[in-house]
Structure formats: C-alpha cells, structure tokens
Structure 1
Amino acid sequence: MVKFYTIPIKFRNKYVRMLTEKDKIQLSKRGISEHEVNQQVDYFKQGFPWMHLDRAASIGNGIIHLSNEDVDRYVKRFEDAKKTLSILKMVPASGAATRMFKSLFEHLAELKPNKESSVFFDRLSEFAFAPELKKLLPEWSTEQEILENLLLNKGLDYGSLPKGLLSFHYYEDGVRTPLEEHLVEAVEYASDGKDAYLHFTVSPEHRSRFDALVNQVLPKLEKKYQVKFHISFSEQKPSTDTVAVDKDNNLFREADGSMLFRPAGHGALLENLNDLDADLIFIKNIDNVVPDKLKDSTIVYKKALGGLLVEILDKIKAYARVLKGEISAATLEEMQEFSGKYLGIQPGKAWVEHSQEEKIALFKKIFNRPTRICGVVKNTGEPGGGPFWCKDQEGNSTLQLVESAQVDMSNELQKAIFTDSTHFNPVDLVCATKDVEGKSFDLLQYRDMSTGFITEKTKDGKKLKAQELPGLWNGAMANWNTIFVEVPLDTFNPVKTVNDLLRPAHQN
C-alpha cells in the first residue's frame, strides 16, 4: 500500500511505562491494546508529519467534469445497475448542534445581542422550529426566556441535541428534521423502488430519541412514497477512543486516577463503515439537506456518481481478469493511463525503471482495494479541506482529501498550493467496499495512521492534548482508489450556524 507521510516516524515499540494494573483493566474493557496507547503517546510526542502537497486537483487534472450528456448516461447506468446491487446510505449523525448555536449561547451568557443573534430575533418567525418554541411560551417574551426555551433542557433543548433531531424545514403538513429529509432523499437513489436502506451513526445518549423519531415518522413516509425503509443505527465504538495527555505528554488522569479517553473524531466511524455490507454505500453529512423543491439536482448527481462508479468497477474487474494471464507492455500502459485518470494514482519517475513483474504486482494491488468517488464543489471560501495530488516517499502522486491542519502553512510553497485550490470537499461520497469477488475489504488496512490530528482542550480547568484518528474521508481512506467529480454548488447546503436556516436553500 502507498504511504503518504513525508518523514518517517519511528516508534519505540515499547509499552507506556506508566500503565498500572488498573489501567490495563480499563483498556481491556474498552477493547484497546497497550500497543495502541503507546502509539498514540508517540504521536503526541513526535507529532504527525505534514502532507506533501504536489498540486491542487483541478478540472482535467484530477477532477472530472461531467457534461449534460455524461450525467444522463451515468444516471441511466445507475438506474439499470441498481436492480442487481445492494445500496445503502450512511449518514454520520452523532455530533451535537452546540456549535450551531454558538452566537445564541453568547447572547444568553452576556445578556446582550451580537450580530448573529440580532438577525436571529429579527427573523425568528421564519425558522421551522418557531411554532414549537412558541407553544412553550404564552406569548413572545423576553429574549432571555426565548433562548432558554430554545437551547436548554427546560424547553426544546436544541443546544445539546444532535442536528438530525432539529426542525429544519417547514412544510404545509408539518416540519421535517434532517433525518426525515435524508429518508426522503434515499427513496430516489438508495432504493430499488420497494426498499430503502439507511444507516445513521448516533451517540448513545441520543439513540432513544432517534428511535422515537423513526417510529413516529415512518408510517407516514412509507405510505406516501410506497417504500419500505430499513433503518439501522450504530454508535462510535469505545475501542476507537484515544487517550489524552498533559503538556508533558504524560497520560492525563481523572480525579480517581483513571485514564481520560476522548472520542477520536469522525475517523473513528471507519469501524462503523467497516461493519456495513452493501455493494454501493453513499455517505453524506447530516446537515446537508434541502426541502423537496430543491432536491432534484442532488438526486440527479447522486445517481450520476453511482453510475460512474459502477462503470469504473466494471473496468477494474476486467483488468483484474486480464492480470491473471499474459500481459503485454501496451496493456500495462493502458492500465497506467486508466489508473491516473480514474483511480487517483500516478506512478513517479521510478516507474520506467520497474520491471514488468513489479508493474504487474502494483496493478494487482491497485485493482484490489476499496474505491470511492468524491463529489467536490467549486471553492467559495468555506472552511475545510479539498482535493489535492499528494506525493509519497517513492515519488508517486495520489489523490487525497486534505484538511488545512494537515498542511505546513509555514512553508510558503505548500501554503500557496493549498490556498490556490479551486475546489472544496462537501462530503459527498459513493463507495465500493468489496473486491472483485464480492468479498468485503477490511477497511482498517487501507488507512494511513500518520494522518491524525492533535488538538488542545481543557478538563476540570486543566489543559490537555487530545488526538483524533485519521479523518473518515481523509487519512482513513488514504489508500483507496479515489475519483473526484465536480458537482453543482447547489448540492452543498450545510447548516453550520442557526442563521444558515434562513438561506433560500432552507426556506420552504
């Protein structure tokens, strides 16, 4: 497998000396090995290496632009293929909406308005949750009372609920949450016309609320769309949590002496994805949904991405069969061209020095790993990562989704490559996680553990360092075949702050 770090990391291969017998029991209960803790502490001490950006991916150079004719063809390809494929939609939905209401919490804490909270109150009646909120108050009362009833558990408790449970969009027959919008969307592309399969990752404390919402809305939606929904939930596994350390990189201890573990970011969900069984898996963020009148563009491009992936998988299967027999130099060149254009890997200068046997061995690996298509949108200044060609130690270039935290911004060349990128990652993926024989890959074998993150936090007034696993669509998929496709900007409508719900894309 290709590795993407720019400097070698040497682990000491000895266990953390400060582990006690109680620590080992704590690790055993979580399903975490002592070696994993040792590795995490080593990363705290040595840091994660920077990604080596070669160039930003662009149209015709790592990003595929689909013409209207292409879209129509791939949509038809998908419609024909889905009759014989199992399709699933996965939606990470565990994150709380706390940051969405940051400005309102500040208003409540300081008892004075800010720019965002002023807009919120000026247009309060335009939010889909306004009728629910009004029921809790005899009449529109003070701003403090309104915020308390919206954000705190004395009222709607929106400040601690996950986004998937909030009222996002208003309809004449009621309101819809993001969870419901994802169900409606799935009817069109994660369904064979009779059954639709969805999987949501949720936090344990909110699992019962998700179950209750599903039980409440399913009868109405199944009757309206004549589709049977099959909905499953999973939670982030305790074995994916990471240890925290103090400023001296010693294990951070709770008051009772136990080790502090923290959730390791969305990269921990690779374990959840690894447990899913489907031919095609669509992945999309919980807050990127729109009302029905605006869904067409999203649905068309989801199908187009699915159809393109089906076509690429057919080609991979054909090449895998060819590799079992005699291979000509011309065929190897054809495979190299296909891999560069459609699988996101361009061999380095040393390629010409490889023997035919070495080239064949490389292509056998390439055609025997997970494959993903990532929709990307034109960069409009949104914070986050984007598509890049990255260099590995052997000089090969591979397509990766890279976050700003992975780039050495003190290096002017690397900074320029990152800031000059033309496209952005909206988390719009369709994945194939089975080999040519239909057997599921072990996805944990295709991540690059050196692409994690270190963040600073506080606990009980004490500073600590926390560690996130390689991001689900970043380092967790580093050694996948990767295809970037430009999708329309109107398919990307995230809700990062409460006032985003006032945008035309969320008004119904």
Structure 2
Amino acid sequence: MENHLKQQILKQGMNPETVAQQIQHFENGFPFLDITAPATVGDGIKVLNEKDLMHYRKTYPKNASQIEVVKFVPASGAASRMFKDLFAFLEGDGDLSNSAFVQKFMNNIEKFAFYEDLDQVLQKQGSSISHALDIKDYKSILAALLLDEGLGYGNLPKGLLKFHRYKDGRRTPAYEHLIEGVQYAIGKGSLVKIHFTVSPEHIEKFKQEIEQILPEIEQEHGVDFDISYSQQKKSTDTIAVNMDNTPFTEDDGSILFRPAGHGALLENLNEVSADLIFIKNVDNVVPDRLKAETKNYKMAIGGMLLEVQQKVFEALHTLDKQADVESINHAEKVFTEDLGAKLPADFPSLSSEAKSAFLKMKLNRPMRICGMVKNTGEPGGGPFWVKEEDGFQSLQILETAQIDLNDPASKKHFNASTHFNPVDLVCATRNYKGESFDLLEFRDMMTGFITEKSKSGKDLKALELPGLWNGAMAGWNTIFVEVPLITFNPVKTVNDLLRDEHQ
C-alpha cells in the first residue's frame, strides 16, 4: 500500500489492514446467504396469546425495576431524504401539475405540525402561507421550510422535526421517545435511560431540545432521566472506490471515506452498559392516543426476554457444575423450546462432553427478541432460517440484497416470507456471569452491502458494514415475535405525516 494512502487511513483512525480487506470485498463481493426456509408463525415466529401478554406485562415492570434498562435510538443523519420530492420541485420549474407529491403536500399543508412555525417564517418575510398559496408561489413556501434561512428542515435530523400536534403544543420524535421511555423503559431507581446516536453537527441542537422539554416530563411523571449521546465513529467509515475498485479520490487528491450505514452503530451499542436495551428507530413514533399498543408489546417482549434469559442462565450455571444427562437434557430443552432454536441432525449421536460443549457455546451469546409484523409491502428485512458454515440453522433478519433471487430455491423461500422486521428489538448483552459481551465478536463480516453512488459527477462504489439488526447480530440468540402492524409507523417522506396514525 502506498505511503500517502497509509497516512490518510491512519489519520481516519483506521488501520490499513481493515481498508485492504474492504477493497477485497469490493473485488470479490459478498456471498449470498443459504436460506433453508422463511421464518413463519409456528416455525421461527412466536405469537403471544392474551394470557402470555397479560403475564409478561404484569411481570415486566417489577423485573425491570431491579435492573439497568436503556432505550437506544439511532438518530443520526439529516432528514433530507424525507424532503427529496420537495427539493426537486424547489430546483425545478415550479409547475405544481408536474408533481402529485407536492400537490398533496400543498393541499394538506395545514395538517402538518410545523404549519404555524412555517407561517411565522413567511410572515417575517412579509408574506404568509395563505398568501403564497393564493398567488401560487409554492417555491417560497418550500424555501421557508427547507432552507437554513427559514426552518432549515432540509438539514435537521428527523428527531428534531415537529411531527405531531397536540392541544398544548407540538412534539418532535425526540420528545415522543422520552414519553415512550416513561411507559416501558423505567429501570432501577425509577430511572429512564435513553441513548441517542447523533451526528456531530446536530448534537447541540439535540441537547437544547431535550433540556427544554425534560424538566416538565420529569415533574409530570415522577421519574428521572439519564440522557446520553454518542456519534458514529469516523473509524467505522469505509473507503469508497472507483468502478475498477481503486480508491476514489477527491479533486484535492484525498481519499473518500463514507459512513458505513447503521451497522457502524454496533460499536456505539457495544459501549452501552445495561441489562436490557430496547432499540427503535427515531422516526417510528405515534401520538399518545396510539401509544398503548406499543407500550403493551414492548413490555411483553421485554418481559419475555428477561424470563428466557433467566432460564438460559440457569442452564449454563447447571452445565458448569455438572454436565450429566439431566443437565444436558435441561439445557437442550431451554435451547429448543424457550429459544426456539434447532439442533443439528447429528446432535443425538454426540458424546455427553460434545453435547455439553455445543450447548454452552450456543447458549452463552447475546440475546434479542425482534418484533415482526405481517408483510404489507413496506420495505424491511425479512426473517429467515439460514444454514451456517457448521451446518447449524439460525434465525436471521435478511435484506433482499443478501438473497440470491436467481436461485429458484432461495426465490421460493423469499416469496413465501410472511413477515418483516420494523426495527423493534429488545436486547440482552450481558452473559450469565454478569459480564458484558464484546458484540463485535458476534457479527458476520461477510454480510455487508455494496452500493453504487456518485460524487462530483463521478460514479463510485460504497461499502456498508453488516446492518445493525442484520449481519451485525448474526451470532446472537434470536427469538421472533409477531407484533401488531400499528406498532410500526415510520416516516420516510414528509407526506407520511399525513397518515391517520400521525394526525
């Protein structure tokens, strides 16, 4: 590797071996995963009946009050993609008839929670929303919304945009996540811990928003908050390459490194010390009137994870003391029934020592329960049974890019998939001795993604690390639980805020 290239890599906080490996990935691509079946209800996806729900909702608060609970909210990045169509119109000819998306936005503009703020900006400019609409000056409305001299929504993170309107004010997703935290993330000492991953340029605005709203929420609900922040590390960026896999250089000769997707946040998650960690995307929030179902299922999967974890810990402690037939049978039952995992075909023929070693290796891992909703055409990773190199079958969340749709068997399994993951996870990252797992040891580095982008008019290839809830958690013990569709309400475009669930 050339010396000037090495220097830039070291300056980035990365090591040259990692970058060389990344370039190899560009050259060789990533292998497709070997799917054996989709995870479906009764075969990989559990359904909680009313009795289960009542039980876990009842036991969870007491158990959670004895442990450290953290709500982990990936909130990095600007919301610019939310406004892609509005930006395109702003840069175009201003003809509303050419954009059904902008027509819908303008026709329903009073329904957005940011309407009053936007009108104030226009009034300061000597206009108003109603006046601009009357004279068909749509661009001035969009400029006031998106650009920094107005509300600057085009450069703010989603967490700081006004999503929901209430009688007593307007709420951002950051605000809604605090309210959710009170509902299901109260841990030891009546403390609500929430961790936001935020881009460096947005951290101060995030802190200002939280500091402004926190005292009132703490007083109203009688709890204390512990809010922490982290940033995606520069050392987790990946090198960009030209189409011939040579390093992509900027006009000034510097190498381009790019953020490596949400998989890079595994390093942030690895530094969160807690017994139970809920993970939920920043834009998946609803007004108070719809929060009950989310609260019920979050408490249910949290309670379920704590109970299953307790059984796993007991099985491991028992195997430590004595690996006799009774201990092995007990651990096997926990593995297959409580975790819902599948034993390899040759397991019955193994010696007691080999059975014990296998079960200890498979049970002593980070654990997660992932909510799964019925597939209604929304984008999202799907749940599948995957055959590992050692022949073992594991439950994984896969993106379409990880599946070989040219292979008839894989395509059949893909088409038969019934559910997808709405990024609804609860995780346990400590082992049965109370020590934190090193989560980096349980990711599958062969499950990254290569995408094609462009910079300054030149095509390039970008590399994403294994996704946080995909390959980054490939080695975890996983349980899939069906959750209601109402618990999934993402905001991908600004017009999604017009859905009934956000009104």
Bucket of the pairwise TM-score, normalised by the shorter protein: over 0.9
Q: Report deviation, 1:226.
A: 2.0
Structure-2 residue corresponding to 1:126: 111
Q: Report deviation, 1:183.
A: 0.1
Q: Secondary structure at the match of 2:451?
A: strand
Q: Secondary structure at the match of 2:353?
A: helix
Q: In the comparison of the two structures, how many residue pairs are matched?
A: 489
Instruction: State the one-letter code of the partner of 1:439.
Output: E
Q: Report deviation, 1:330.
A: 5.5
Separation of aligned partners in 1, 2:202 and 2:181: 22
1:382 and 2:365 matched: no
Range that drifts further, 305-314 or 253-262: 253-262
Structure-2 residue corresponding to 1:339: 335
Q: Report deviation, 1:305.
A: 0.6
1:170 and 2:159 matched: no
Structure-1 residue corresponding to 2:16: 34
Q: Report deviation, 1:333.
A: 4.2
Q: Report deviation, 1:172.
A: 1.1
Q: Secondary structure at the match of 1:454?
A: strand
Separation of aligned partners in 2, 1:102 and 1:344: 42
Q: Report deviation, 1:277.
A: 0.5
Instruction: State the one-letter code of the partner of 1:123.
Output: N
Q: Report deviation, 1:394.
A: 2.6
Consecutive aligned runs of 4 or more in structure 1 exceeding 6 Å deviation: none
Q: Secondary structure at the match of 2:454?
A: strand
1:490 and 2:486 matched: yes
Structure 1 residues 330 and 55: alpha-carbon distance in aligned structure 2, compared to 1, 3 A threshold: farther
Structure-2 residue corresponding to 1:183: 178
- Measured against aligned partners, the alpha-carbon deviations of 1:438-493 in whole angstroms (never above 9, x if no partner) come to 11111000000000000111111111111000000000000000011111111111
Separation of aligned partners in 2, 1:392 and 1:72: 36
Q: 1:80 is matched with which residue: 50, 62, 71? A: 62
Structure-2 residue corresponding to 1:223: 219
Q: Which residues of 2 match residues 232-271 of structure 1 at below 5 A?
A: 232-271=228-267
Q: Report deviation, 1:437.
A: 1.3
Q: Secondary structure at the match of 1:430?
A: strand
Aligned alpha-carbon RMSD (Å): 1.4
Structure-1 residue corresponding to 2:128: 139
Q: Which residues of 2 match residues 392-403 of structure 1 at below 5 A?
A: 392-403=388-399
Structure-2 residue corresponding to 1:115: 100
Separation of aligned partners in 1, 2:392 and 2:158: 40
Structure 1 residues 341 and 103: alpha-carbon distance in aligned structure 2, compared to 1, 3 A threshold: farther
Structure-2 residue corresponding to 1:5: none
Separation of aligned partners in 2, 1:373 and 1:53: 20
Instruction: State the one-letter code of the partner of 1:458.
Output: S
Range that drifts further, 274-283 or 411-420: 411-420
Q: 1:93 is matched with which residue: 75, 78, 81? A: 75
- Measured against aligned partners, the alpha-carbon deviations of 1:286-345 in whole angstroms (never above 9, x if no partner) come to 000001111011011111111101101110111011112333446434433432344353
Instruction: State the one-letter code of the partner of 2:424.
Output: D
Structure-1 residue corresponding to 2:468: 472
1:47 and 2:29 matched: yes
Instruction: State the one-letter code of the partner of 1:54.
Output: T
Instruction: State the one-letter code of the partner of 1:184.
Output: I
Residues 375 and 419, structure 2, Cα contact 8 Å, conserved in 1:
yes
- Measured against aligned partners, the alpha-carbon deviations of 1:176-201 in whole angstroms (never above 9, x if no partner) come to 00000000010111114732110000
Separation of aligned partners in 1, 2:286 and 2:384: 28
Q: Secondary structure at the match of 1:214?
A: helix
Range that drifts further, 445-454 or 78-87: 78-87
Residues 33 and 403, structure 2, Cα contact 8 Å, conserved in 1:
yes
Range that drifts further, 331-340 or 376-385: 331-340
Structure-2 residue corresponding to 1:426: 422
Q: Report deviation, 1:254.
A: 1.9
Instruction: State the one-letter code of the partner of 2:292.
Output: D
Residues 311 and 334, structure 2, Cα contact 8 Å, conserved in 1:
no
1:302 and 2:298 matched: yes
Instruction: State the one-letter code of the partner of 1:90.
Output: F
Residues 344 and 399, structure 1, Cα contact 8 Å, conserved in 2:
no
Q: Secondary structure at the match of 1:451?
A: coil
Residues 493 and 505, structure 1, Cα contact 8 Å, conserved in 2:
yes
Separation of aligned partners in 2, 1:389 and 1:342: 17
Separation of aligned partners in 2, 1:350 and 1:262: 45
Instruction: State the one-letter code of the partner of 2:72.
Output: M
Structure-2 residue corresponding to 1:457: 453
Separation of aligned partners in 2, 1:316 and 1:26: 46
Separation of aligned partners in 1, 2:408 and 2:493: 32
Q: Secondary structure at the match of 1:191?
A: coil
Separation of aligned partners in 2, 1:344 and 1:497: 37
Structure-2 residue corresponding to 1:151: 146
Unaligned 5+ runs, structure 2? none
Q: Report deviation, 1:494.
A: 0.7
Separation of aligned partners in 2, 1:120 and 1:430: 36
Separation of aligned partners in 2, 1:81 and 1:194: 12
Q: Report deviation, 1:255.
A: 2.1
Structure-2 residue corresponding to 1:69: 51
Unaligned 5+ runs, structure 1? 1-16
Structure 1 residues 335 and 286: alpha-carbon distance in aligned structure 2, compared to 1, 3 A threshold: same
Residues 164 and 172, structure 2, Cα contact 8 Å, conserved in 1:
yes
Q: Secondary structure at the match of 2:346?
A: helix
Separation of aligned partners in 1, 2:87 and 2:36: 42
Separation of aligned partners in 2, 1:378 and 1:95: 28
* TM superposition score normalised by structure 1: 0.94
Structure-1 residue corresponding to 2:286: 290
Q: Report deviation, 1:407.
A: 0.7
1:104 and 2:89 matched: no
Structure 1 residues 156 and 344: alpha-carbon distance in aligned structure 2, compared to 1, 3 A threshold: farther
Range that drifts further, 341-350 or 199-208: 341-350
Instruction: State the one-letter code of the partner of 1:274.
Output: N
Structure 1 residues 330 and 60: alpha-carbon distance in aligned structure 2, compared to 1, 3 A threshold: farther
Instruction: State the one-letter code of the partner of 1:488.
Output: P
